[in-house]
């Protein structure tokens, strides 16, 4: 996926729930509030999922270099 397509997908999903897979097999879900050109993301109402357990994190800043997959959630 090119950078332009990634930016377009992020723009379309500001204010919506997204799922992010991070390095280290971590999965985070939350509402995308903002992002920048380095793919750093700010999420609200974020939760981490590991071993089918949810840990509420609240507001969260994710550095773009730790992100593997971003997926919109319906």
In tens, the pLDDT along 5-50 reads 888 889 999 999 999 999 998 999 999 999 998 999 999 999 999 8
Which CATH class for the 3-72 domain?
Answer: mainly beta
Q: What is the domain partition of the chain in residue ranges?
A: 3-72
Q: Give the per-residue pLDDT at 52.
A: 85
Residue 49 neighbours by CB under 8 Å, 6+ apart: 27, 28, 29, 55
Residue 1 has pLDDT above 60, yes or no: no
The Cβ of residue 1 has, within 10 Å, a number of other Cβ atoms equal to: 8
Q: Give the per-residue pLDDT at 2.
A: 62
């Amino acid at each position: 996926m090119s950078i332009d397509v990634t930016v377009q997908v992020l723009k379309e999903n500001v204010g919506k729930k997204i799922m992010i897979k991070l390095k280290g097999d971590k999965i985070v879900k939350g509402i995308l509030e903002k992002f920048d050109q380095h793919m750093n993301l700010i999420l609200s109402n974020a939760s981490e999922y590991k071993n089918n357990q949810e840990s509420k994190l609240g507001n969260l800043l994710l550095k773009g270099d730790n992100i593997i997959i971003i997926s919109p959630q319906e």
